[in-house]
A and B are shown apart, each in its own frame.
Chain A
């Protein structure tokens, strides 16, 4: 489908309202993802987690966000004002925009782009510029180090991330996320996670790294770099960075569901009576839970190990995966 087909006023308004609804959904998700994360980690660490603001602490994040918005907005005197202000925006906007091509069900999708997968990776790479600029513009050495780390990390892990999904693309013969999900219909044995298990593992590792979350949270490693690239940020600018981070959690969890876990399809055909969106949400949430779980379990990896893992393990593995997948596909074609 053409991205710009019938770009009239009414379709534009439709897109706009859709975007507003999506933004609301995403903000709601982020609010409760943070709550959920704090609860999960609290349980793992034998604590209660937030339980004071509202019933069961449900309004904790709302209160936190309010606090952030009311906070004094400080800009360091020697910072590069223009870039300092611009950086959180550059980091956040792509995070939100990448959500456009995620198919939630066969009907619920904002834009079915025929290069949807590429679109996702291309735009998500722009966020790195925001982080890097934020680190540089703060004129703080810790944030500069954090920014440098994040740049090195993002570049290194973008490559295996893209390579790991080539196998999936080969299997479904399309870069369109919708087609990829359609190809996984008919039970869990059709899901890409089985034939592309190696790809899945590489994808998950690289994805956690792209998210800058534990054990790959080096750009903001609080015990080394204090807070990394956002040391100097406060108030709503800081909130923007946080928001971008959690929107990416949302995006990556959704993408993993779409690429490897069969999207909205039920695992067993007789369970089809349950609405498709429920399956999507279940799979999506289990990925989100997984991300929180490893955060509470694993220590942080070291920069040099991170680099060698990316270049020396994940990338060659991803290449081998592509190679093997291609051969198998050709063999199947040949014998058919």
Chain B
């Protein structure tokens, strides 16, 4: 028999579909992958090392740059960890502002994922539609804190800036607009035969291996495990709102797609309620000493970022700087399952599966 030549292909570090500097060495037999080895670390900036010489407030901008698609949730997890350690009471208005920006950020992040995922699959228009909607959110953030990507919005004890006049109304108007657009997206993409054929049954894993690999977020919920930290281990004021945790059971790329798509809708529901209950006035910062020295001890807080469980582990020695700061980066953990999923798949599916996991390389490399 004719043996086809085995091909060793370096996908990345510079490749259109790795969404950053990520390299994966694949052995190909024809177009079928026989072995895949991810190589990461090209974007490693040593955030955790840098943090050991910075005060807690100074660390916050570094978190912006980890998962740069969802900077608000990163801001929050660090502040939340310090606040837990200090046992701080956060003013109501600040909590609402935090929650609103986090949910807006979740929508923005999922929109980026949705657009780029379809770009990976070869449809280019959805990308521009998604970015149009994301632009509205980014503009709202811009009004709020003067930044469009790396916000540095939250502080230990609250938020830095109060909502400008009319800002809440903008969020209120955004909700029905986004709902309408989601219907359009559904018509354009979710029922497209080519799209379904590309994602259904691709990159399937079961709940068992999802748990074993420590997957979180949509990657976990697509296998039927109903676990969302906003519901199961509530933080901030999520327990006051009524929303569902979308779950799919198939565990393939399509299930992950549906989960994320539904999450946008659920975030809109949360936003709708939050905007209604938004306190008229009040403080946006708790009473926090100028130099933050959390008590000696250890804390691990985790919240539901758009990509899954982002955690922050602080070891404090009652100094202004953390003794050790460790982030559990969901992209880093979620990416581990990739080699297992890729074996036996084609080159085309590599892109589909990698996109389906939804990684941000800034976060993978820390």
Interface residues of A, Cβ cutoff 8 Å to B: 41, 44-47, 141-142, 144-145, 148-149, 214-215, 217-218, 221-226, 296-305
Contacts and interface: CB of A to CB of B under 8 A. Distances in A.
B12 to A, nearest CB: 10
Given A145-B31, A304-B346, A224 B125 contact: no
Contact of B124 (A45, A218, A225): A45
Given A46-B132, A141-B9, A297 B125 contact: yes
Interface stretch (B113-121, B217-225, B322-330): B113-121
B349 to A, nearest CB: 7
Contacts of A44: 125
B241 interface: no
B122 interface: yes
Interface string B313-357: 000000000000000000000000000000000111111000000
A46 B129 contact: yes
A224 B194 contact: no
A299 B122 contact: yes
B192 A298 contact: yes
B197 A301 contact: yes
A299 B347 contact: no
Interface in B195-224: 195, 197-198
A302 B192 contact: no
Contact of B122 (A47, A141, A215, A304): A215
Contact of A299 (B7, B118, B346): B118
A223 B17 contact: yes
Sorted nearest first, the 6 A-B pairs with minimum C-beta distance are A300-B122, A299-B123, A45-B128, A299-B121, A223-B17, A299-B122
A224 B351 contact: yes
Contacts of A217: 122
Nearest to A295: B124
A214 B122 contact: yes
A218 B351 CA distance: 13
A46 B127 CA distance: 11
Nearest to B196: A299
Residue with the highest number of chain B CB atoms closer than 10 Å, among A41, A45, A144, A296: A45
Nearest to B15: A226
Contacts of A221: 122, 348
**Contact size class for B?**
20 to 34
Contacts of A223: 16-17, 119-122, 351
Contacts of A302: 197-198, 346, 348-349
Contact of B194 (A46, A47, A298): A298
Given A298-B194, A299-B195, A46 B31 contact: no
Contact of B347 (A47, A225, A305): A225
B355 to A, nearest CB: 9
| Interface-central residue, B124, B125, B351, by most chain A CB under 10 Å | B124
Contacts of B31: 145, 148-149, 303
B132 A224 contact: no
Contact of B192 (A47, A222, A299): A299
Contact of A145 (B16, B129, B198, B347): B347
Contacts of A218: 348
B119 to A, nearest CB: 6
Contacts of B17: 223-224
B123 A303 contact: no
B125 A226 contact: no
Given A215-B122, A222-B16, A296-B124, A45 B129 contact: yes
A243 B118 CA distance: 27
Given A45-B124, A218-B348, A300-B198, 8 more contacts: A46-B129, A46-B132, A145-B7, A215-B194, A217-B122, A299-B122, A300-B121, A300-B122
Contact of B350 (A47, A149, A224): A224
A224 B124 contact: no
Nearest to B202: A302
B320 to A, nearest CB: 46
Nearest to A224: B351
Nearest to B123: A299
A214 B192 CA distance: 14
A144 B347 CA distance: 13
Contacts of B350: 224
Nearest to A301: B194
B236 to A, nearest CB: 35
Contacts of B189: 299
Contacts of A300: 121-123, 194, 198
A330 B31 CA distance: 46
A139 to B, nearest CB: 13
Contacts of B348: 218, 221, 224, 302-303
B224 to A, nearest CB: 26
A36 B351 CA distance: 30
A142 B119 CA distance: 19
Contacts of A301: 122, 194, 197-198
B215 to A, nearest CB: 24
Contacts of A224: 17, 347-348, 350-351
11 contacts: A41-B124, A46-B128, A145-B28, A218-B348, A296-B125, A299-B189, A299-B194, A300-B194, A302-B197, A302-B346, A305-B197
A165 B118 CA distance: 34
Given A226-B16, A299-B194, A45 B123 contact: no
Contacts of B120: 223
